[in-house]
Structure 1
């Protein structure tokens, strides 16, 4: 993807059970309560648990600006009309990098593989995308299962700082067109 303007996902994608859509400011308080304050969720992310809803509001405002600038495309996951998580789609030269998070009550219910598969399938159908990739903390076995269910394959392990700035092993998985 040499021209970022070529890559522009739709603002809404529907699956059998989910709506994947562009974030709204009204999502901030709901997502804050759903997962942004949960240390069990945050320990596998690049951020610390939020302590104030204003932090979550700032994050959602940032996500909206990223979308408007076509820098990245953070999708909110709606299940039964409630926001429960997010998937970030980041365009990088000829590939897309994904990141994802979901509230703990929805772990192990097949929701994240459904959401992620829909976005991966859409991305790989674009002429300008040759590869999708995801990296995650190596000890996050739940994410590894999600990623493998989506058809991505292991490439390598590398060190990357966790949400406390400590170097941790991360695994890179990818899928090519």
Structure 2
């Protein structure tokens, strides 16, 4: 890792408990498997623009959740998006890549189709952005989306990320090769951007 003058290290804290008006963002537990499977992981409409296919059974979901739980550490950021009033897990948001040398994190998220277009992902992402800038002290938060999925870009823009360009055929997902729109927010532009 190259040390760059003036760039301090990140202060990793792992998946901290975060709350918003309607949500609790927390670590996954194995008991979330049924909600995860039925609410989004088995839905091919939800996974269409993701890198993994819809789960074929709740057993697959349990196996994946178990791996996430076992691999938990202070540089893993993987939140279950749960409803505050009943703890039903309806999606997830996570840091899918960390570039330590430039203090950059890449965010990915997915949400149950039942909860689309209600501001849930925006609310969750805004809480994660605040945590990552203020607590972890990242310098850049980045997210990409398949250009065929413009609603994901709307979430990014609502959270203050700026569109930086489109990389042609740089991604692959369940729909095939994808042109990916890149959005980012820098620490210097936060919090005035949100």
2:32 touches 2:89 (CA, 8 Å); kept in 1?
A: yes
Alignment partners' CA distance in 2, 1:138 and 1:110: 20
> Deviations along 1:85-143, whole A, 9 cap, x unmatched?
00012433111111000000100011110000000111111364101011111111111
SS of 2:164's equivalent in the other structure is: strand
Alignment partners' CA distance in 1, 2:68 and 2:59: 14
Change (3 A) 1:127 1:11: closer
TM-score of the superposed pair, with normalisation by structure 1:
0.90
Q: Tell me what 2:106 maps to.
A: 97
Residue 160 of structure 1: which of 171, 174, 184 is its match?
171
Q: Greater CA radius of gyration, 1 or 2?
A: 2
Residue 72 of structure 1: which of 72, 76, 79 is its match?
76
Q: Tell me what 1:138 maps to.
A: 147
2:15 touches 2:74 (CA, 8 Å); kept in 1?
A: no
Q: Tell me what 1:171 maps to.
A: 181
Alignment partners' CA distance in 1, 2:155 and 2:92: 14
The 10-residue stretch of structure 1 (118-127 or 27-36) with the greater mean CA deviation from structure 2 = 118-127
1:29 maps onto 2:34 in alignment: yes
Alignment partners' CA distance in 2, 1:127 and 1:86: 19
What displacement does 1:62 show?
2.3
> Deviations along 1:133-154, whole A, 9 cap, x unmatched?
1111111111111111000011
RMSD: 1.9
**Structure 1 gap segments, 5+ residues each:** none
SS of 1:20's equivalent in the other structure is: strand
The alignment covers a number of residue pairs equal to 174
SS of 2:21's equivalent in the other structure is: coil
**Structure 2 gap segments, 5+ residues each:** 1-6, 188-194
> Deviations along 1:18-48, whole A, 9 cap, x unmatched?
1000110111111100111111101011111
Q: Tell me what 1:47 maps to.
A: 52
2:94 touches 2:107 (CA, 8 Å); kept in 1?
A: yes
2:79 touches 2:93 (CA, 8 Å); kept in 1?
A: yes
